[in-house]
Structure 1
């Protein structure tokens, strides 16, 4: 996944990812729980980031289970020390996964960074054991267009476009994910949506502010946004009087047939 812009070695990466985990983890844990994750299961977390879900999975499956957490940069994952948790550097587009090896496979906010998400999904499906579950959680930023602030709308489009520019993708595609997974050969495919309500000064707002800080040079150099508009948008993200929608979550799941 060369060209990935949000390097986890950045000095504020841990804080940025922690803010995202604060918002997303409760929904992720609820969805995993509903799929019936059992003690002793073998799990794979693809694009594990800061590792909060990988760590939680290791607690759920117990000593008899195991978790493999992958990322192209495992700097933050190496801080997690558990006897049943392995951090592994891996690029899912360059290297296949072990076939039929996992009872549960999960990725979150990963696929929109990839030039070929369908290949990644195919490899995750292949990694499932018969009866195993795949859970994909993605983001589609269509709700930002509902904001009455053009500064905020233009900022979010420029930010998300700059983040994924190297992959040639965009952040307005996840609405297609249910159809993609339904054609993957899994059974009992289901899904749900959610969206964040962002208030200036909130953890969600700080997450986007930090993302913009990390991406500011590229945003301005690309001409996607000028400095004045960027400054106005960042001011909105710190104002408690500002309210807007963040990204729209699209989550889908399916089970590999036993026969």
Structure 2
């Protein structure tokens, strides 16, 4: 996770993550409740970010449950944290997770930042009890480039430059999450299934402001990558303020399965 372009130490990081949480949390919570998460569950949230799901899990599992949240920087997840939330600074690329302790392991919008998907998924599965549930949610940005959407070409150019530059160190891109179900099946999980939701963005709205803040935080990183020039980049940031702009955001692919046993 060296040279991470969207670090939690940025002064507007909490606002940026809160905007993403407002977009993604309802679907994540619905999936977890459908899976049966409830009182007494032991849960691990990897890459906790702003902490919204870890905090929600604490309220959901109650005093008889357990929630451990990890991140390379836990400062934001610690803000207004509920009693009982355990926080642990961990880098999934190199630090071990507790072995075979959890009924649920969840991570969201994290794996696309990591260089080795198979190693990361193996570590996540290793933290599950036999029969425990792994839920992974990842963005696939293919809808941004769908034909005949009517969205401005500059928006698509900006999004492609931003996402490619942010994950450049992994040697991949942000167009792979459709392969998540096959990835979990390859790791031998039982009852693998998946779902996907495409986000719709309006200029000035929460999702547009999330991408705008992400673009501001990663600006120099993206320009240094040479994928877009500064004038086009700044024009795209301004475009995200325009309420007349409607476009697709990422498709969030959710895949889940259970550890055998």
The bucket for the TM-score relative to the shorter chain is over 0.9
Q: 1:100 is matched with which residue?
A: 100
- Give the equivalent residue in structure 2 for 1:193: 196
1:219 corresponding residue in structure 2: 222
Contact 1:113 1:169 (8 Å CA) reproduced: no
Aligned position for 1:45: 45
Shift of 1:168: 2.2
**Match 1:234 to one of 223, 233, 237:** 237
Structure 2 alignment gaps of length 5 or more = none
Q: Which residue of 2 aligns with 1:114?
A: 114
Q: Is the 8 A contact 2:5 2:221 kept in 1?
A: no
Counterpart of 1:162?
Answer: 165
Q: What is the 5 A alignment of 1:129-148? A: 129-146=129-146, 147-148=149-150
- Kindly indicate whether the alpha-carbon contact (under 8 Å) linking 2:14 and 2:50 is maintained by their aligned counterparts in 1: yes
**How far apart, in 1, do the equivalents of 2:223 and 2:92 lie?**
30
* CA distance, structure 1, for counterparts of residue 115 and residue 121 of structure 2: 12
| Deviations 1:43-94, CA, capped at 9 Å, x for gaps | 0000000000000000011001110100001111222433321111001110
Unaligned runs of 5+ in 1: none
How far apart are residue 98 of structure 1 and its match? 1.7
- Per-residue CA deviations over 1:154-189 (Å, capped at 9, x if unaligned) read 100000011111222211111111100111111111
The offset of 1:95, in angstroms, is 1.6
TM norm structure 1: 0.97
Q: Which runs of 4+ in 1 moved over 4 A?
A: none
Check conservation: 1:194, 1:250, Cα contact below 8 A: yes
**In structure 2, distance between residues paired with 1:189 and 1:77:** 29
> Is the partner of 2:218 in helix, strand or coil?
helix
| TM-score, length basis structure 2 | 0.96
Task: Tell me which residue corresponds to 1:177.
Answer: 180
Q: Aligned pair count? A: 258
